[in-house]
Amino acid sequence: MSICNREGGRCAEMAMVCLTDFEEYAKEHLSKATWDYYAAGADECCTRDDNLLAYKRIRLRPRILRDVSVSDTRTTVQGTEISFPVGIAPTAFHCLAWHEGEVATARATEALNTCYITSTYSTCSVEEIAAAAPNGYRWFQLYVYRDRKLSEQIVHRVEGLGYKALVLTVDVPYTGKRRDDIRNQFKLPPHLKVKNFDGVFQETAGAEEYGIPANTLDPSISWKDVYWLQSITRLPVIIKGILTKEDAELAVEHGVSGIIVSNHGGRQLDGGPASIDALSEIVDTVQGRIEVYLDGGIRTGSDVLKALALGAKCVFIGRPAVWGLAYKGEEGLREVLQILNDEFRLSMALSGCRNVAEINRNLIQFSKL
């Protein structure tokens, strides 16, 4: 595969075989501040790094002689069929990685027929994203702001545009301390903005945090806000950022439609559990009453298989999506998703699973190392 840098310099031959290849390409070609922003974890990055290491502590118990000549990776999320159980997690500022930004992300996920959770902090508007991939299956990730009207307005916008669920992110009452962003004094370049709030904050002077005025998020958010959100929309509400069985039970009691087990890519509280390590207790608590998903640390098809074996209905990728964009925009992200799909199908077959329904906890053992 021939790749050229964007300035039209020399071309080199490089086979993009796995997600790590895309990571290395992105690190080499993105500016330092942009790479640091995407790669950042909170504080000492222990949780960010453990999101990856935790999968290596899990072993598969493959079954053999199971006739895996035909395999089926399809599944459903919230009643909608997707081609395989990997979607795109909400990540901000895709235009930093590729000039078309979230528009390219939307097209890639539409082409692969999977779920794209659009971030509030997109550098394309929810309208632009919907127009770019009119048949795409999209959810919208939401924060609750001190000014509830801001949240309410965007909820009504996405509902009118055909987004199919709201993903309420609950682990950011305050932004985690990301040391490299502080050192780099990270700011969006002047030509980019948080498009969903274009014009909303024009009057406001003062400190900014990731493209909008500081102290805009509401740290008083509580379970009553879940009821408030349900009162203003017909869309299912999925909570992202749960890591304990206690909060999983409360989520069920509050009538949400799903949980995304997530530590925000290790960008919020450092020292919390890896997402995959928190999954089992949440699945055991929920007992199938609502769907449970996961993000954080997915890098291979066998990671997907392990997460499904432990009870996740679907997983979502964050940083790898951005690496795909940095490589070749829509085409690069399609390659990332296709590689994960192919690896997942192969891991399923080599473990003796013909379809997603055959994946269960008997497939898993934990390493004694």
Query: Which residues are the active-site residues?
Result: 264
Residue carrying structure tokens 């009691």:
253
326 sits in which H/E element? helix 319-350
CB-based contacts of 178, cutoff 8 Å, min separation 6: 37, 40, 41, 42, 267
What are the binding residues? 37, 90-92, 119, 141, 143, 169, 178, 240, 262, 264, 267, 295-299, 318-319
| Nearest by Cα to 238 from 138, 141, 367, 135 | 141
HSE value, Cβ hemisphere, 13 Å, CA-based, for 18:
9
Residues within the annotated binding site for glyoxylate? 37, 143, 178, 264, 267
How many Å apart are CA 327 and CA 76, to the nearest integer?
29
Alpha carbons 304 and 238: distance in angstroms, whole number:
20
Nearest partner of 77 among 303, 298, 314, judged by Cα:
314
Contact (CB, 8 A) for 274 and 310: no
The tokens for 268 are 């919020």
Q: Using alpha carbons, select from 352, 366, 305, 344 the residue that is nearest to residue 63.
A: 352
Annotated binding-site members for FMN: 90-92, 119, 141, 169, 240, 262, 295-299, 318-319
* Number of other residues whose CB lies within 10 A of the CB of residue 152: 16
